[in-house]
């Protein structure tokens, strides 16, 4: 009676169906519990095939890229955000927050990590057909990636947080860029809590490799002097996306 | 080819299900745990389908990013965590296979060369657990039909490609597969 259903589910799981047929089945999976169950049965029956493939250890770069692409807590990239406490990252960052005085400069290890992450993120971005020209990974004081800055060919730039960070009462987070020591850092963004934002690079020279981006803690409303006055919360230099 | 270690012994479904729950909570160490346990197996499956290591590794990468993003949507009531994760892998790999144009990836096959595929397919069957229902039931099928099922799943061949390789009309290939599937289903019930 339901032979058609089971045969179709089997063909789908075997991978025999062409693009549009396969898509129709994928849609039906969500809408038709009987079909979904038939597919699940086939997957379970045929899973032994997957276990028969000779295992191949993937190259180390694969995990590095996965780690870079998943550095954000899933809450940032998933609609299920309300359901997820951002345990590891939130806790780590607030611990760092509380030890502001011990924050120090960023060492060689961080530079290597930045490069690695820039490569990984560069790959991700290309996949999404967005192609930033430059990528900067901003590292927190304990050398964890805290945000990414992407600059694009048309002069736009965006900051994407990789961890939650909110300024305490009476303070703001200010984003700066530095490409010329003679000119000094220029403010390109001001927020109370880190979120994805477009940086105001208009009127500035085109971003270049090695250009510095950083976020400092400033009085509410931004630094009164037009220069960073508070502690650096994260910083990183731009690298060309491959 | 002869990886004789029983892979099932290395993959502990309960531990993987717990690690997937960890991912849903945002515990990155759990993703690494899953990776350490099944990434080599996944790479093997992807390589068998795509026959190019760079593509296989890209698919494994995409699969783990997806596992991380979708962990919270996994419903244990609907199936096992391992099956869910391998389904993501196969889905991705089949998409790549379609997008890259199957011919690019399969041009090392001789046309109508089912005869040369058959030993590969039989080797796959031999690598299956002797105690498993899949092997027992596959062995009950006529050899050409068994080969067709194995090639479809492990190489991602389409109906049309199977028909071409077997030298039979498309309609015949479709009805072979369909009858073989229903026979397998009955045998494995």
Digit-coded pLDDT (tens) for B165-175: 888 899 999 99
Q: Which residue out of A16, A39, A128 would a mutagenesis test of the B interface target, given it has the greatest number of B Cβ atoms within 10 Å?
A: A16
Q: What percent of chain A has pLDDT over 70?
A: 75
pLDDT at residue A92, as a whole number: 52
Q: What is the mean pLDDT of residues B43-65?
A: 95
CA–CA separation, A71 vs A65, rounded Å? 10
Write phi, then psi, for A86 (nearest 5 degrees): -90, 65
Q: For residue B48, give the nearest of A53, A63, A65 by CB distance.
A: A53
pLDDT band, residue B121 (cuts 50/70/90): confident
Q: What is the mean pLDDT of residues B119-131?
A: 84
Q: Quick check: A62 and B61 CB within 8 A?
A: yes
Q: What is the mean pLDDT of residues A98-123?
A: 58
Cβ–Cβ contact A208 with B under 8 A:
no
Q: Which residue out of B68, B106, B129, B146 would a mutagenesis test of the A interface target, given it has the greatest number of A Cβ atoms within 10 Å?
A: B68
Q: What chain B residue is nearest to A14 in terms of C-alpha separation?
A: B153
CA–CA separation, A45 vs A10, rounded Å? 10
pLDDT band, residue A62 (cuts 50/70/90): very high
Count CA within 13 A, CB hemisphere, residue B1.
10
> Residue B131 contacts by C-beta under 8 Å, 6 or more apart in sequence?
none
The candidate with the shortest Cα–Cα distance to B187, out of B124, B127, B145, is B145
- Chain B residue numbers with beta carbons less than 8 Å from the beta carbon of A73 are 26
Tens-digit pLDDT profile for residues B2-48: 444 444 446 788 899 999 999 999 999 999 999 999 999 999 999 99
According to DSSP, residue A236 is labeled E
Q: Quick check: A6 and B61 CB within 8 A?
A: no
Cβ–Cβ contact B123 with A under 8 A:
no
Q: Quick check: B185 and A46 CB within 8 A?
A: no
CA–CA separation, B14 vs A188, rounded Å? 49
Please, is A190 exposed, middle or buried when counting C-beta atoms within 10 Å of its C-beta (0-12, 13-18, 19+)?
Answer: middle
B67 to chain A nearest CA, in Å? 10
pLDDT band, residue A102 (cuts 50/70/90): very low
- Chain A residue numbers with beta carbons less than 8 Å from the beta carbon of B178 are 7, 11
Instruction: Kindly provide the b/e burial profile for residues A63-82, where b requires at least 16 CB atoms within 10 angstroms of the residue's own CB.
Output: bbbbbbbbbbbbbbebeeee
- Chain B residue numbers with beta carbons less than 8 Å from the beta carbon of A78 are 69-70, 72
**A43-62 residues touching B, CB cutoff 8 A:** 43-59, 61-62
Q: Considering chain A, what is the average pLDDT of its residues?
A: 79
DSSP string, chain B: ----S-HHHH--HHHHHHHHHHHHTT-HHHHHHHHHHHHHHHHHHHHHHH--HHHHHHHHHHHHHHHHHHGGG--GGGS-HHHHHHHHHHHHHHHHHHHT-HHHHHTTSPTT-HHHHHHHHHHHHHHS-TTSHHHHHHTTS-HHHHHHHHHHHHH---HHHHHHHHTS-HHHHHHHHHHHHHHHHHHH-
Please, is B37 exposed, middle or buried when counting C-beta atoms within 10 Å of its C-beta (0-12, 13-18, 19+)?
Answer: middle
Q: Quick check: B87 and A43 CB within 8 A?
A: yes
pLDDT at A50 over 90: yes
Q: Quick check: A66 and B61 CB within 8 A?
A: yes
Q: Which two tokens mark A205?
A: 């020279």
The pTM of this model reads 0.59
> Which range, A34-48, A105-119, A125-139, B106-120, has the best average confidence (pLDDT)?
A34-48
Q: What is the ipTM of this complex?
A: 0.87
pLDDT at A205 over 90: no
- Chain A residue numbers with beta carbons less than 8 Å from the beta carbon of B122 are none
Q: Among the listed ranges A190-204, B40-54, B76-90, B126-140, which one has the minimum average pLDDT value?
A: A190-204
Class of domain A134-240: mainly beta
pLDDT at A105 over 50: no
Q: Quick check: A10 and B70 CB within 8 A?
A: no
Q: What percent of chain B has pLDDT over 90?
A: 60
pLDDT at residue A83, as a whole number: 39
Q: Quick check: B26 and A66 CB within 8 A?
A: no
Segments making up each domain of chain A, as ranges: 3-130, 134-240
Q: Which two tokens mark A177?
A: 């860029």
> Which range, A20-24, A51-55, B62-66, has the best average confidence (pLDDT)?
B62-66
pLDDT at residue B138, as a whole number: 95
- Chain B residue numbers with beta carbons less than 8 Å from the beta carbon of A14 are 149, 152-153, 177, 181
Q: Among the listed ranges A135-139, A162-166, B124-128, which one has the minimum average pLDDT value?
A: A162-166
Point out which residues pair with A212 in neighbouring strands: A178, A237
pLDDT at B189 over 50: yes
């Amino acid at each position: 009676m339901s032979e058609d259903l089971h045969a179709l589910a089997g063909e789908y799981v075997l991978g025999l169906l062409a693009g549009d047929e396969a898509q129709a089945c994928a849609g039906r999976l969500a809408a038709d519990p009987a079909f979904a169950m038939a597919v699940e049965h086939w997957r379970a029956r045929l899973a032994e095939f997957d276990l028969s493939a000779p295992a191949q250890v993937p190259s180390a770069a694969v995990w590095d890229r996965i780690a870079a692409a998943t550095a954000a807590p899933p809450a940032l990239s998933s609609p299920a955000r309300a359901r997820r406490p951002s345990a590891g990252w939130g806790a780590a960052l607030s611990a760092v927050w509380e030890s502001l005085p011990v924050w120090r400069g960023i060492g060689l290890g961080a530079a290597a990590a930045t490069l690695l992450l820039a490569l990984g993120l560069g790959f991700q971005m290309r996949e999404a057909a967005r192609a930033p020209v430059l990528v900067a990974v901003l590292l927190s004081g304990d050398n964890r990636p805290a945000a990414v800055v992407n600059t694009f060919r048309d002069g736009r730039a965006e900051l994407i947080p990789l961890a939650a960070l909110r300024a305490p009462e009476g303070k703001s987070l200010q984003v700066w860029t530095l490409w010329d020591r003679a000119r000094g850092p220029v403010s390109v963004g001001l927020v109370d809590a880190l979120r994805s934002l477009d940086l105001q690079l208009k009127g500035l020279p085109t971003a270049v490799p090695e250009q510095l981006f950083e976020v400092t803690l400033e009085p509410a409303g931004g630094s009164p002097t037009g220069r960073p006055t508070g502690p650096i919360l994260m910083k990183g230099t731009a690298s060309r996306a491959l | 080819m002869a990886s004789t270690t029983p892979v099932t012994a290395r993959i502990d479904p309960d531990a993987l299900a717990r690690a997937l729950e960890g991912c849903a909570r945002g515990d990155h160490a759990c993703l690494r745990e899953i990776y350490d346990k099944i990434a080599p197996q996944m790479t093997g499956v992807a390589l068998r389908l795509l026959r190019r290591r760079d593509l296989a590794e890209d698919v494994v990468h995409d699969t783990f990013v997806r596992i991380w993003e979708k962990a919270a949507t996994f419903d244990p009531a609907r199936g096992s965590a391992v099956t869910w994760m391998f389904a993501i892998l196969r889905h991705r790999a089949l998409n790549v296979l379609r997008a890259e144009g199957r011919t690019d990836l399969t041009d090392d096959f001789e046309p109508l060369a089912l005869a040369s595929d058959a030993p590969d397919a039989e080797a796959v069957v031999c690598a299956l657990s002797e105690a498993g229902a899949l092997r027992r039931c596959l062995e009950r099928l006529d050899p050409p039909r068994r080969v067709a099922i194995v090639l479809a799943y492990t190489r991602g061949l389409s109906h049309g490609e199977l028909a071409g390789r077997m030298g039979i009309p498309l309609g015949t290939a479709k009805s072979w597969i369909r009858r073989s599937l229903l026979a397998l289903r009955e045998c494995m019930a």
